[in-house]
Amino acid sequence: MKRTAESCMVVSTLIATGVFSAAFSLPGGNNDNTGSPNYLEKASFLVFALSDTMALISSTSSILIFLSIMISRYGEEDFRRSLPLKLMSGLMMLFISIISMMVAFSSAFFVTYYHGLKWVPVFIAVLAFVPIPIFVFLQFPLWSDIVYSAYISSSLFRSSKRMIR
């Protein structure tokens, strides 16, 4: 669990770094006279701003969740409820940050390159979403193992207080 948290924390940190820098190097640049973004009126720029913010918030949240796993005291009761819940929450925040980062990338690509051939930004946007099902496919066994071991199998062997039902 600790190695998984460390690896996911590295990925979350890389996402947070990328989307943080993307927030300040806006697609299309700034207007020299006013200092405001050039494509502020475009809907794709609004999508970029919202998805970039969502990616930053969710990746930072996942960093904090994975950090709490790493500094946990690793008691017996922690392995029963707390740590599996934290790991599932961290993976969910990481998944949300990956999706948001891909939406931000696609919308930034639309803002920048939608002037020429219209099919090129659409094609790139579709390709940008390829990592999302790959992440789901690769992480689903881990997710299902956590759910099964923490919530399903533990309830099978839980002792009941009553002798007669």
Highest mean pLDDT among 1-10, 55-64, 70-79: 55-64
Please give the Cα distance from 162 to 8 (Å, whole number). 43
Tell the residue number behind the tokens 């927030």, with chain if given: 23
CB atoms within 10 A of CB 21: 9
Radius of gyration for the chain, computed over Cα atoms and rounded to the nearest angstrom:
21
Structural domain harbouring 37 = 1-161
Please give the Cα distance from 137 to 104 (Å, whole number). 22
Phi-psi domain of 75 (left: phi exceeds 0; alpha: psi -120 through 50; beta: other): beta
Highest mean pLDDT among 49-58, 73-82, 123-132: 49-58
Model confidence at 35, in pLDDT bands (50, 70, 90)? confident
pLDDT score at 114: 74
The overall average pLDDT reported for the chain is: 85
Output the CA torsion 14→16→17→19 (10° steps).
Answer: 120
Structural domain count, the chain: 1
